[in-house]
A and B are shown apart, each in its own frame.
Chain A
Amino acid sequence: MDEQGCPRCKTTKYRNPSLKLMVNVCGHTLCENCVEMLFVRGSSNCVQCDTPLRKSNFRVQLFEDPTVDKEVEIRKKVLKIYNKRDFDFPSLREYNDYLEQVEDIVYNLTNNVDVENTKLRMEQYQRENRDVIQRNKAKLTREQEELEELLLQEQQSNEQRRLEVLQEEQRQLQAKRKNKQALLDELVRCTRCMAVCMCNDKSSDAISELHYDRCSMSDRQTVSLQPVTKIEDVLYHYRPLQVETYGPPVPELEQLGRLGYLNHVRAAVTQDTAGGYTSGLACYRAIQDAFSGLFPLRG
């Protein structure tokens, strides 16, 4: 796109990003400024091919290749005249032949092949088929009808989806509000069961709001209005811990001194013993650590 430019003043899109290229029926490009300058009087000849042109026929160039612009222009004109549909023909074959004929005309006009004859042909056709042309003007081809239908469907489904989403949101909102209200009602009825409610519905915002309200009311004093909940469960039985050390048995704490283990650790100073520390404790732990994991795993 950048290397496109006006053939007359040689400005390119790169140098002037706001450059507007125009194209006329002959398919040659000119930039907007040049058009303004050359066509002050409304009509003039094309710089490149000397075709007489009118200023009002200049269009903004849509495509990179100006011949495509020209072709589309011509095609639209031709299709206005050649607007027969497939149901105007007895067989598909003939319709296809007709399509090809149209294509031929467009091709000739675009590439300046035998222009005079082609134009004559078109005019003749127009005269012959006037009523058909008139009749078909408003009609769409079957394919286009299908397309329109599809588009309509799409629109409808989009609309419906939007509505559904909206409804869903509303429903959720309502449900939420209802829940909140129900909870508040319940709380009003009996404040005692509040703790239970709290447990039931922790995630509810209502509760947390309420909770905070209460907190601010009581000025952040730690006065709890909740009754002390009684926990009823099976009584706890202590079972001594069984530790599998995968090692030889460790001597008891009391026996350490007797067995001479304590000779190898630093004796506790008076300051240490003040807190209840004895050198036996450290020694006991060290031995446990050393003995564990010495045997391979069983089972």
Chain B
Amino acid sequence: MKLNIEGLLVYFPYDYIYPEQYSYMLELKRTLDAKGHGVLEMPSGTGKTISLLSLIVAYQRAFPLEVTKLIYCSRTVPEIEKVVEELRKLMEFYTKETGESNNFLALALSSRKNLCIHPEVSSLRFGKEVDGKCHSLTASYVRAQHHSNPNLPVCRFYEEFDSVGRQVPLPAGIYNLDDLKAFGRRKGWCPYYLARYSILHANIVVYSYHYLLDPKIADLVSKELAKKSVVVFDEAHNIDNVCIDSMSVNITRRTLDRCQTNVDTLQNTIHKIKETDAAKLREEYRRLVEGLKEANVARETDIYLANPVLPDEILQEAVPGSIRTAEHFVGFMRRFLEYLKSRLRVQHVVQESAPQFLKDIFEKVCIDRKPLRFCAERLQSLLRTLEIADIADFSAVTLISNFATLVSTYSQGFTIIIEPFEDRTPTIANPVLHFSCMDPSIAIKPVFQRFQSVVITSGTLSPLDIYPRILDFRPVTMASFTMTLARTCLCPLIVGRGNDQVALSSKFETREDFAVIRNYGNLLLEMSAIVPDGIVAFFTSYVYMENIVASWYEQGILENIQRNKLIFIETQDAAETSMALEKYQEACENGRGAILLSVARGKVSEGIDFVHHYGRAVIMFGVPYVYTQSRILKARLEYLRDQFQIRENDFLTFDAMRHAAQCVGRAIRGKTDYGLMIFADKRYARADKRGKLPRWIQEHINDGSLNLTVDEAVQLSKHFLRQMAQPFRQEDQLGLSLLTLEQLESEDMLQKITQIAHQT
């Protein structure tokens, strides 16, 4: 259908539209008009993706000079593929309606592992290996050597792309990863480099967060993207953690040992090269005297693992004299390494700031701040000069040099924590140096500064105001949308007591309490008897789950549950988990269904959808707080309090509730779906916890379902399930939660729609 969104003609590829989609598009249009950033929350399964795409594409067509590009960031490869498919549908609709083929170029970009078509390289299993191998075939010096010695292997796809691929732009169309590969095969071009090259002039780019947020990758891939782009972060409820992870470095004893071998190799190679080809080192030396800028403009294949963000003025300055020659630099690295080793030899936990660290390092091994700052860049230059083909081997020394650069560049927002052992095993020495970023805004700041509009959206972003605060930006629109429903297909219940009136809670004091564990078991048992098909149960941690399941086994609860349903368990092993998941789904297809026991923050809670009969009930045992004793977390909380005035408890609760909402949201993936959401902890009933749930869940929690016993919950669930099992047709939804164009344009509906968005 064709919509009129405040004067903008939007093609929407479906015959019906949800009212909240219309409202979402309104908000989005206002964000784009204001050229600002936005935070939008809309429940999963209400067609966020298509609303986003159709509005932004329409905007791009209407104002081609205002918005030139859409950068859509998603989390996983399957999600990226889904987005591209939606886009394809939209484009087909456009051609059908307008009758002309539009010259839109949209493509997905992923790592070499997913895009390589070289027969040998693509057969490797790990992403790192693929990257390393690819680099050894495509680096510029390898190719230069190939000219003189044709026996040396190079990648023929890259050669082909390099000679002809750059002149001819990728023909307009929608390309997912497979399309790119097929196109590459047909032409004999490398799809990865083709995609990387083409994103510069594509209208829509779909790729993973890391290409924009991880400074090491962003520098390579996204550096040249146009300023007038719209950036969308989908499923962005975890964005602060992604930012932090991309800037943090962990160094263990093993890293240092590997680094030691790396440095030894470097030294040997320098020796060798000095005897055979001293001119090369001299050439590098000359270049470094001139300044880094020139080195920085080396060709794209060489800059392989580039440096973390550096202020521009440093890039324009020359490398300090103390690390200019190769030997001196290796000596420098050796000293730095020995210093780190001596620091790791601590007996107790040390926490210090970056300036303290820098002062100490100067006193101990006379290393200044400036050469440290250039460390990453200098190492890259050396690796290039020494023509070391397999850079994957040198990941350890690269990591250390990145650490050196980061620690000397940022004096704020980072902390250094050295722990001699893990908390759980205080007798086994396993020293780790955490260089942890506490400020997610550091990594994301360039994105907000560079791009005209950045939209952060997800199904669970409540409370909305905390994201602008921790990411340090000023949004022009913040809105939360609810699901308009023809029938209440979700039923959140807070079970606070067992049948024996014992309070249910996973808090630390009652964790080991048998009564609580038994009541939790009872709850699952009763639910397994009344819920058809699949049940997913989430625990707060792996350890807690193991304890409880062991205890249930002893008490015979597990046996009773197994009379009703099969039980599957998520483990820390990814292969085992995906196996369990597959079998769980198989069991849901047949017979009486199954129960999946899994962990909040685990793989299942983040990326797996349990549509329809795969998840008829989700039970959340306890409140999924993070492990609060971790020093990294403590440091971060302190930082949040000092810098952003966010109280520790607020942040912890916020974090716990967004994960809880993520978990229970797994079951509802659309308006025809239905599911029970059981929060089994009495703490959920408190206003501060409940208030942090997304609005679309909150508004279905009524006062009657705040502090239920197991029995009462069973009664309510029975009633709910019986109601939901009645046939539900599309006609029931029409006019209420599903609109045709005429219905949408009616006066009172428009009025209703304006109320959907919850402005904050």
Contacts and interface: CB of A to CB of B under 8 A. Distances in A.
Contact of B355 (A64, A92, A151): A151
Closest 4 CB pairs of A and B: A99-B321, A96-B321, A100-B321, A63-B338
Interface stretch (B296-304, B362-370, B571-579): B362-370
Contacts of B347: none
Interface residues of B, number: 37
Contacts of B358: 147
Contact of B318 (A62, A64, A92, A296): A92
A257 B358 CA distance: 96
Interface in B337-389: 338-339, 341-342, 345, 353, 355-356, 358-359, 362, 364-366, 368-370
A64 B289 CA distance: 33
Contact of B341 (A64, A93, A147): A64
Given A63-B342, A151-B355, A151-B356, A72 B325 contact: no
A213 interface: no
Given A101-B321, A143-B368, A151-B356, 16 more contacts: A63-B338, A63-B339, A65-B334, A65-B338, A68-B335, A93-B318, A99-B320, A99-B324, A103-B324, A103-B325, A107-B327, A147-B359, A150-B355, A151-B355, A293-B722, A297-B726
B335 A72 contact: yes
Contacts of B328: 100, 103-104, 107
B550 to A, nearest CB: 37
Nearest to A151: B355
B289 A62 contact: no
Contact of A72 (B319, B355, B366, B411): B366
Contacts of A157: 642
B338 A103 contact: no
8 contacts: A72-B335, A76-B366, A96-B318, A103-B323, A104-B328, A107-B328, A150-B355, A151-B356
A271 interface: no
B739 to A, nearest CB: 22
Interface residues of A, number: 39
A147 B324 CA distance: 24
Nearest to A152: B355
A62 B343 CA distance: 10
Contacts of A161: 642
A8 to B, nearest CB: 23
A297 B732 CA distance: 14
Contacts of A96: 289, 318-321, 324
A93 B317 CA distance: 10
Given A71-B331, A103-B321, A147-B355, A64 B368 contact: no
A60 B297 CA distance: 46
Nearest to A94: B321
Main secondary structure of the interface of B (DSSP, over half): helix
A293 B369 CA distance: 79
Interface in A19-64: 62-64
Interface of B: 289, 317-325, 327-328, 331, 334-335, 338-339, 341-342, 345, 353, 355-356, 358-359, 362, 364-366, 368-370, 411, 642, 722-723, 726
Contacts of A103: 321-325, 328
A64 B338 contact: yes
B335 to A, nearest CB: 6
Contacts of A68: 334-335, 338, 365
A146 B365 CA distance: 19
Contacts of B642: 157, 161
Contacts of A146: 369
A144 interface: yes
Contacts of A100: 321-322, 324-325, 328
Contacts of A62: 342, 364
A62 B345 CA distance: 10
Interface centre among B322, B323, B726 (most CB of A within 10 A): B322
A103 B320 CA distance: 11
Contacts of B355: 147, 150-151, 154
A194 interface: no
A79 B321 contact: no
A212 to B, nearest CB: 24
A104 B285 CA distance: 14
Nearest to A96: B321
